[in-house]
Copies of this chain bind each other. A is one copy, B any other.
Amino acid sequence: MANDPLRKERILDAALTVIAEHGVHRTTHRRIAEAAGVPLGSLTYHFDSLETILTEAFRRLGESMSAHYDAVLRGAADRSGAIDAVTDLICGETYATPRELTLINEMYAYGNHHDDVGELGRQWLERSWASLALHFTPPACRALDALIEGWTIHQFVERKPLDRALVHTTVTVVAEGVR
């Protein structure tokens, strides 16, 4: 298939699908190629190595998640709305999907052993912080960001739905109490 500009993106999305389903430790050229519906040779043609594919895939993940994160917080009119927005980010079904949470975990884990991906994780934190800073003080941003991260992970590990009222209360006391 000549001149397919979407080919690279399709491969990266397939890579994320494979990572989410099997984990980085079982992500291979062949599995990605099958998931993307492209020949094996196409991967080595478009990307230097498997490392490159993983790195680019995680970059794509970070960008799309940051965008969503930012959109949700920008949509909040005032402080109270921002607290609702943060509660949504933790409990919501659009951000904290199993796929995204699995991928975030994989990114952190892989980033601990791969500098470029580690840097992506740091950028992702920085952008989250910037989005929160639209509504909260710097210290509150740090605390809220930690809370979001920890709670979404717990929610996923536990596989139980969250108590939304409790989340809302906690977000509120942190937002108001930490200065």
Q: Is the CB of B166 within 8 A of A139?
A: yes
Q: Contacts A146-B147, A150-B146 known; A109 to B157 CB distance under 8 Å?
A: no
Scan A106-125; emit 1 where CB is below 8 A from any B CB, else 0. Answer: 10111111000010011001
Could you tell me the distance in whole angstroms from the C-beta of A167 to the nearest C-beta in chain B? 8
Closest B residue to A138 by CB, please name it: B166
Q: Is the CB of B151 within 8 A of A146?
A: yes
Give A147 to B144 CA distance when docked, in angstroms.
9
Contacts of A163 in B (CB 8 A): 139, 142
Q: Is the CB of B106 within 8 A of A109?
A: yes
Residue A174, interface by CB 8 Å: yes
Closest B residue to A114 by CB, please name it: B23
Residue A148, interface by CB 8 Å: yes
Could you tell me the distance in whole angstroms from the C-beta of A20 to the nearest C-beta in chain B? 8
Contacts of A108 in B (CB 8 A): 105, 109, 153, 157
Contacts of A142 in B (CB 8 A): 154, 163, 166
- Partner among B125, B143, B151, B158 whose Cβ is within 8 Å of the Cβ of A122: B158
Q: Is the CB of A147 within 8 A of B145?
A: no
Could you tell me the distance in whole angstroms from the C-beta of A89 to the nearest C-beta in chain B? 12
Within 28-67 of A, Cβ neighbours of B (below 8 Å) are at: none
Q: Is the CB of A177 within 8 A of B166?
A: no
Q: Which residues of A contact B (CB under 8 A)?
A: 21-27, 102, 105-106, 108-113, 118, 121-122, 125, 139, 142-143, 145-151, 153-154, 156-159, 163, 166, 169-170, 173-174, 177-178
A–B Cβ pairs within 8 angstroms, 13 of them: A23-B112, A25-B113, A105-B108, A105-B109, A106-B109, A122-B158, A125-B154, A146-B153, A147-B147, A147-B150, A150-B150, A170-B174, A177-B177
